[in-house]
Structure 1
Amino acid sequence: MSSRTSPARPQRLKEPLAPKMGASLPTAGLLERDLEDDGVYRSLEFRGSDLSSRDADAVEFETCRFVDTRFSGTKMRRGGFSNVELERCDLSGMAARSASMHRTLVSASRLTGMTWSECGFKDVTFDSCRADLTAFRFSTFKNVVFRDCAMPEINFQNADLRGVRFERCNLTEAQFSGAQMEGARFADCVLLKIGGVTSLRGVIIKSQDAQGLVYSLASAMGITIEE
């Protein structure tokens, strides 16, 4: 009697969990509008706040909403964001190490020149962000989506990007050297002049996106393409 094996079902992609918070949150007061070492900020809304050029250790934000808030030039070690929304925020030049984002939505925000090294991202969506010259070196991503983001010259060197989704993103001159990328997906992305293209082993990519990789692959293999 022969056994019949049913065909494998296609893997369903898991959408990052949206932050869960009330429709309204109390506005952060003056004493809560600054960053202190080991500070914990819970269930607050920061609207139009200026938290730029700060230097703090182990700052934790939990169930908070940030609207039009500036973190530009701020340095943060450890700590991070959990169950948080950041909308139209400025994180340009922000530097974080050993920090984390969990269940976080970052939308319509500026991340230019931001550096989050050796950090962890879980259940995070970056939506419609400007992230040129941003660096995520040696960071780990789990269930993360980059959607409609401008990301030229972004640096993912030695990052763990397994399963990450890039949707309609501009990744011109992005750096992936040493990255782990099995199961990562690219859909409707610009992939010109990619660095570390050989690290893309195991990714899933749309056929039209693959055309942009031809020159990068040829360069990595020492092939000259003549017009």
Structure 2
Amino acid sequence: MPSRTPAAGPPRPKEPRSPRLAASLAAVELFDHDLEDDGVYKSMEFRGVDLSSRDADAVEFEGCRFVDTRLSGTAMRRGGFSNVELERCDLSGMAARASSMHRARVSASRLTGMTWSECGFKDVTFDACRADLTGFRFSTFKNAVFRDCALPEANFQNADLKGVRFERCNLTGAQFSGAEMEGARFADCVLLGIGGVTSLRGVTIRSRDAQGLVYSLASAMGITIEE
């Protein structure tokens, strides 16, 4: 009897590629030149560096690692982060516009109140970050993952979130109004009180997560739920 080949299971979601950094990065202990407009910084390690409250235009970071670095309150336009890692960094209150992250990993970092509007994220993972009150309005995400992140009241209004994965995230009160979300997935997430619930057309949600959507769906449809 001819052997039978087992049926192939469903395809596994594509994981963002991890950045490949140079084996030896030039350490930056005291930032000699500060952030300069049109500055390009390659293969550098920023460890314990304070880059907060800066104002920069068209700054590019390529192949860099940021550890315990502060970018809080920094304003950036047309900035670029390519093939980078950010670990235990403080980006709270950072404001970026028309900027991009490509092949990046942001882990164990504070992003409270960070605003990246009209920006692009490709092959990016946010892991175990405090990201409450973050703003990603009109931004585009491709092959992106939010994992173990606290995202209460995050704003994804009019963002392109097609295919994005949210895993074990707290999204209480998050705003998705006008977002494009076909193919996005939510697994083990808190979805209480989210806004723009009608934009979730085409997403995949685990059954136990869907219970948190009942009141938001009812409100969007004008339904009153009595105890």
TM-score bracket relative to the smaller structure: over 0.9
Contact 2:42 2:62 in 1 (8 A): yes
SS of match in other structure, 1:27 = strand
Q: Output the CA distance in 2 between the equivalents of 1:94 and 1:174.
A: 19
Q: Output the CA distance in 1 between the equivalents of 2:134 and 2:85.
A: 20
- Confirm whether residue 221 of structure 1 aligns to residue 218 of structure 2: no
For residues 60-209 of structure 1, the aligned pairs below 5 Å read 60-209=60-209
Question: What per-residue deviation string (whole Å, max 9, x for no partner) do you get for residues 61-100 of structure 1?
Answer: 0000000000000000002200000000000000000000
TM-score, normalised with respect to structure 2: 0.95
What stretches of structure 1 of length at least 5 have no aligned partner? 1-6
What stretches of structure 2 of length at least 5 have no aligned partner? 1-6
Q: Output the CA distance in 2 between the equivalents of 1:102 and 1:11.
A: 24
SS of match in other structure, 2:105 = strand
Contact 2:146 2:165 in 1 (8 A): yes
- Confirm whether residue 41 of structure 1 aligns to residue 33 of structure 2: no
Range with greater deviation from structure 2 (12-21 or 178-187): 12-21
Q: 1:10 to 1:160 in 2, by over 3 A?
A: same
Q: Output the CA distance in 2 between the equivalents of 1:128 and 1:28.
A: 25
Percent of pairs with identical residues: 83
Displaced runs of 4 or more, over 6 A? none
Q: Output the CA distance in 1 between the equivalents of 2:220 and 2:18.
A: 39
What is the CA RMSD across the aligned residues, in angstroms? 1.3
Contact 1:33 1:49 in 2 (8 A): no
For residues 2-81 of structure 1, the aligned pairs below 5 Å read 10-28=10-28, 30-32=30-32, 34-81=34-81
Shift of 1:9: 5.9
Q: Output the CA distance in 2 between the equivalents of 1:8 and 1:157.
A: 37
Question: What per-residue deviation string (whole Å, max 9, x for no partner) do you get for residues 135-182 of structure 1?
Answer: 000000000000000000000000000000000000000000000000
Q: Which amino acid aligns with 2:114?
A: M
Contact 1:102 1:124 in 2 (8 A): yes
TM-score, normalised with respect to structure 1: 0.95
Count of paired positions: 221
Shift of 1:28: 1.9
Contact 2:90 2:110 in 1 (8 A): yes
Q: Output the CA distance in 1 between the equivalents of 2:122 and 2:145.
A: 10
Contact 1:37 1:59 in 2 (8 A): yes
